[in-house]
């Protein structure tokens, strides 16, 4: 089996893909809890210490208590053209943006680049040479011959192995301010209808 295939089998794809998805789900749950805490802390008056946060007892219905308002005065013309001072009381939740974050898109890009290269070089060198020499001293002397033979063989083998591993992982999370749930929108409509002008209190 090729080395690259074995290497790919050892990559924990379940963890690489599952961990970012799990983190995204946990982030969504944290965003929802943050929304509830924001509504409780900003939109309602602080309750008695014996009641505490709505998260203290998850077996009971949440009781956030009295709504928190902001009151201010301003001047306006009445029907008779007389400038008068009026007082306006507005629920805070109706004038501040409520954080309601939703994870809109999650992209997980994983790239594995495995390069396995084996280079082999074989060099062969064969040499054969023959040298013959003859000589004699006189016409009646025997002839003397000399033979020399040279054989040379050389075999060189070179091999090189190169293995490169490169991993790249990109996680992209796109979050948006989502539309408010229908129940919360209705509550805000009720709070908006409660906004009324009245003469300033003494």
CA distance 118 to 202: 93
44 secondary structure, DSSP code: B
- In the chain, what are the domain boundaries? 3-66+101-178
Task: Report yes or no: 187 and 67 within 8 Å, Cβ to Cβ.
Answer: no
Q: What average pLDDT does this structure show over 86-106?
A: 87
In the predicted structure, residue 164 carries a pLDDT above the cut 70:
yes
Residue 31 DSSP SS3: helix
In the predicted structure, residue 60 carries a pLDDT above the cut 80:
no
| C-alpha 48, offset from chain centre | 42
What global pTM score does this model have?
A: 0.58
Residue 147 DSSP SS3: strand
pLDDT category, 81, cuts 50, 70, 90? confident
pLDDT category, 50, cuts 50, 70, 90? low
């Amino acid at each position: 089996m090729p080395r690259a295939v074995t290497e790919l089998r050892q990559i924990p794809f379940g963890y690489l893909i599952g961990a970012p998805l799990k983190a995204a789900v946990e982030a969504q749950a944290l965003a929802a809890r943050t929304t509830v805490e924001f509504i409780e802390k900003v939109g309602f008056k602080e309750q008695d210490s014996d009641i505490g946060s709505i998260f203290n007892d998850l077996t009971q219905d949440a009781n956030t208590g009295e709504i928190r308002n902001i009151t201010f005065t301003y001047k306006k013309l009445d029907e008779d053209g007389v400038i008068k001072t009026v007082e306006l009381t507005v629920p805070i939740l109706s004038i501040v943006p409520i954080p309601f974050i939703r994870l809109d898109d999650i992209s997980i890009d994983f790239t594995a680049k495995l390069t396995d290269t084996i280079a082999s070089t074989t060099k062969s060198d064969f040499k054969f040479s023959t040298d013959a020499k003859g000589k004699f001293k006189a016409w009646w002397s025997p002839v003397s011959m000399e033979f020399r033979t040279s054989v040379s063989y050389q075999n060189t083998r070179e091999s090189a192995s190169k293995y490169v591993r490169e991993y790249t992982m990109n996680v992209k999370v796109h979050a948006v301010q989502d539309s408010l749930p229908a129940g919360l929108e209705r509550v805000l409509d009720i709070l908006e209808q409660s906004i009324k002008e009245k003469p300033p209190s003494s």
